[in-house]
Amino acid sequence: MKLKICGMKENPQEVADLAPDYLGFIFWKPSTRFISQPPAGLTDDIKRVGVFVDASIPYILAQVGQFKLSLVQLHGEESPEFCLALRKELSTAFGNNTQKIELIKVFSVNDEFEFSGIVPYEEVCDYFLFDTKGKLPGGNGYAFNWELLRAYPLKKPYFLSGGIGLGEVPQLIRFMRSPEARYCHALDVNSKFETAPGVKDIPGLKQFIKLIFDK
């Protein structure tokens, strides 16, 4: 199980020192965690994820180049056709890279969520991400019912997101031992490990990593 820490803005180097697998940067301007300039001093050993909400392909390509992104996370209403077109453009623009730019498609989950709607995305994305359906596209601070993932019909690896904090550790450990976690590729944390928007709670993250990953 891997770890993605999203919403990098004020103290990304301190977060990078914790050696997560992924760092997430948000490129949705209404977000309090929106970032416009690459942070100085970060090395390339941690994969960088760009989070976009219904952005244009040229804008996405520009941020991939500027921030040296390894993955693009689509958090809006992007269609399978858009994902396919984006993959082609990424391949054309960055095809000489040793590692291809991967796509994550986000789905917001509530009790009425139908997994049949994600099937058309299976062939055009590398990962899914399941987040809590709320007022904002991410960062709502509460978890959905993970038992709903028992109905997950595919083998596509996914990121688990939405309100994951220290208070969720016991239920998270139970989830990780359950059949529905079989294809869970990574945990995605954000707002529950902040002292202010974009300011990550380093002691809290250290404790979380110790409880979940240092086993």
Q: What is the CATH number of the domain that holds 94?
A: 3.20.20.70
Which pLDDT value is given to residue 116? 95
Identify the pLDDT of residue 139.
54
Domain of 126? Answer: 2-212
**What's residue 5's pLDDT?**
97
* Nearest to 125, CA basis, from 159, 98, 97: 159
φ, ψ for residue 33, nearest 5 deg: -105, 10
Q: Residue ranges of the chain with pLDDT lower than 70?
A: 98, 134-141, 215
Number of domains in the chain: 1
pLDDT, residue 127, reads 98
At 122 the pLDDT is 97
Reported as type and span, the H/E element at residue 85 is helix 80-94
**Taking the model in full, what pTM does it have?**
0.94
